[in-house]
Amino acid sequence: MNRLTRREILQSAAGLAVLATAPIGASRAARPAGPAAGEGQPFSFKQLVERARHAAGQPYVSPRRPAPEVVQRINYEEHGKLRFKTDQAPFAELGQGGAYPVTFFHLGEFFPKTVKMHLVQGGVAREFAYSPDLFEMPADSPAHGLPRDSGFAGFRLQEWNGASDWRTQDWVAFLGASYFRTIGAAGQYGLSARGVVINAAVPDVPEEFPDFTEFYIEEQPDPREPVIIHALLDGPSITGAYRFALTRGLDRSQGVTMEVQSQLFLRQDVARLGLMPLTSMFWYGEYGRERINDWRPEVHDSDGLALWNGAGERIWRPLNNPPFTTISAFQDDNPQGFGLLQRDRNFDHYQDGVMYDRRPSLWVEPLAPLGKGQVQLLEIPTDDEIHDNIGAFWVPEGAARAGSHYQLHYRLHWQNLEPYPAENIAQTIATRVGRGGEPGKPRPADEYKFVVEFDRPSVMRQIPYGVFPEVVVSASSGRVIRAFAEPVPGGNVWRATFDLAVAPDQIAELRMYLALDGKPLTETWLYQFDRRNIVPQG
């Protein structure tokens, strides 16, 4: 997964606005799709799947890139000046057509490929064609040099057209390759999802970025019901068809859920096929060598990978900003879910007006059995917050060969935390790493101290007064010493502390949980320790 210029392009103002009191429209009267509607054609997801299946047997043709010499001049600043006119947005009229107006992104330096847009009403699809007249465009904008049929780069859905702020507030965006994102329960964009990952972090093999080349957005007059969006995927090694059912609802504090169905067809062999992929950013947290390079206590969109495996075990793996690209694989059989989460919701831990404390967590819930495979975590070194350097995805068992067909059905939960927390297991709330040793004594070389905090009042209250849980900890390298548990004053938080004696050239896979009477009290904390993650080099 390459480093990618990130979130500012899709930033949406934080905060929840009061909804207008206009009634929810139920009219489904037929009307033109928009000011640039094309000829209507019957449409169904089944047809889209068959198109993807057929395309997999044909040579790959790259999407159109109109006037590259012009598009490359539409940089980040210039792109931000090109705003779609909301009075031209399809489904903008309350009570007629769809409930969520659609606005479109212009082509630009980072989004140079044309994506075809269609609106679907009553099973009939009509292309919504690009025109420069649909955008507010400064007189000196390079975009004036583009052909009048250049096309769009992506789209977003605005809030319900009965809301007072729908013209300024959007809640989901599809833009760039197969990337998409939505705001969570706190009304803030953050991490992204993708259609598929092809050959990420494979030595001597470049990563491939398939594109959503066509979108079909269905009319949905009721804001309480899902918006249905279909997408056609195409790339040198793969084709695919996707059906997204996006539920926003009128209560914005509920976040967003997406039910996804997809069918994928391989044109070529793929070394690493990542399904249901998530992508995020982690620069540093309560730990990490980069803390000395920035004034903020923490900088990240996500702070850990959460796993709920097929055996029922709950696992938390804090993220790293490693010295080199790293893949961690978690073998499983029919996992019940995984996600990249932002558990730390305390503004004081970030001190940044871009609201890292409000970034959504994203949980993947399989709705059909996945069988055997691995959840893989990709961590890429970064020296700034502007790069997406974290990925998580499912890699099915077996070689991904040309001609293979994959069918998926899953749900994406864009919330503050995972949607199905274990009631009888405490969660990790903090990970800290420092020099090892005992107070008042010389600090030993090559010893490091780990302090991990767990919280869930309903669980921790079960610990009798004066009883201390067992710290069950192991390391693949080095030696664990001085392990103990203690309560944190003033609440129900318990802290596990241990030291690891490890050679400078060793990487240790750590595994730890708290137990009482031989039974787990907490989720399993995993961590990959490489001293280069902690100690500044050079």
The model's confidence at residue 469, banded by pLDDT at 50, 70 and 90, is very high
Query: How large a percentage of the chain has pLDDT more than 70?
Result: 92
Query: How large a percentage of the chain has pLDDT more than 90?
Result: 83
Lowest mean pLDDT among 83-87, 405-409, 423-427, 510-514: 423-427
User: What pLDDT, on a 0 to 100 scale, did the predictor assign at position 58?
Assistant: 97
* 92 burial level (CB within 10 Å; 0-12, 13-18, 19+): buried
Mean pLDDT (whole number) for 388-414: 98
Lowest mean pLDDT among 199-203, 247-251, 529-533: 529-533
Residues paired with residue 257 on neighbouring β-strands, in sequence order: 247, 413
| Beta strands 447-455 and 427-435, pairing class | antiparallel
The model's confidence at residue 5, banded by pLDDT at 50, 70 and 90, is very low
Mean pLDDT (whole number) for 76-102: 94
Q: Is the pLDDT of residue 13 over 70?
A: no
CB 450 within 8 A of CB 527: yes
The two structure tokens encoding residue 356: 């890292």
Cα 449 to Cα 534: distance, rounded to the nearest angstrom: 11
Q: Give, as one character, the DSSP assignment of residue 532.
A: H
Mean pLDDT (whole number) for 62-90: 96
The model's confidence at residue 214, banded by pLDDT at 50, 70 and 90, is very high
The model's confidence at residue 37, banded by pLDDT at 50, 70 and 90, is low
User: What pLDDT, on a 0 to 100 scale, did the predictor assign at position 492?
Assistant: 84
The model's confidence at residue 230, banded by pLDDT at 50, 70 and 90, is very high
- At 260-313, the pLDDT tens digits run 999 999 999 999 999 999 999 999 999 887 777 899 999 999 999 999 999 999
| 3-class SS of residue 145 | helix
Which of 345, 336, 354 minimizes the C-alpha distance to 410?
336
User: What pLDDT, on a 0 to 100 scale, did the predictor assign at position 95?
Assistant: 76
- At 409-454, the pLDDT tens digits run 999 999 999 999 988 999 999 999 999 998 888 889 899 999 999 9
Mean pLDDT (whole number) for 67-93: 96
User: What pLDDT, on a 0 to 100 scale, did the predictor assign at position 288?
Assistant: 82
Question: pTM for the complete prediction?
Answer: 0.92
The model's confidence at residue 92, banded by pLDDT at 50, 70 and 90, is very high
CATH, range 427-534: 2.60.40.10
User: What pLDDT, on a 0 to 100 scale, did the predictor assign at position 537?
Assistant: 53
Mean pLDDT (whole number) for 376-382: 97
What angle is formed at CA 194 by the lines to CA 283 and CA 40, rounded to 5 degrees? Answer: 145
- Residue whose tokens read 């996804």: 260
- At 111-169, the pLDDT tens digits run 999 999 999 999 999 999 999 999 999 999 999 999 999 999 999 999 999 999 999 99
Q: Which residues, other chains included, contact 436 with Cβ-Cβ below 8 Å and sequence gap of 6+?
A: 443, 444, 447, 448, 449, 482, 499, 500, 501
User: What pLDDT, on a 0 to 100 scale, did the predictor assign at position 38?
Assistant: 64
The whole-chain average pLDDT of the chain stands at 91
The model's confidence at residue 28, banded by pLDDT at 50, 70 and 90, is very low
Mean pLDDT (whole number) for 88-101: 91
What angle is formed at CA 295 by the lines to CA 292 and CA 296, rounded to 5 degrees? Answer: 105
Which architecture, in CATH terms, is 7-12+33-415? Distorted Sandwich (2.70)
Q: Is the pLDDT of residue 514 over 90?
A: yes
Q: What are the sequence ranges of the domains in the chain? A: 7-12+33-415, 427-534
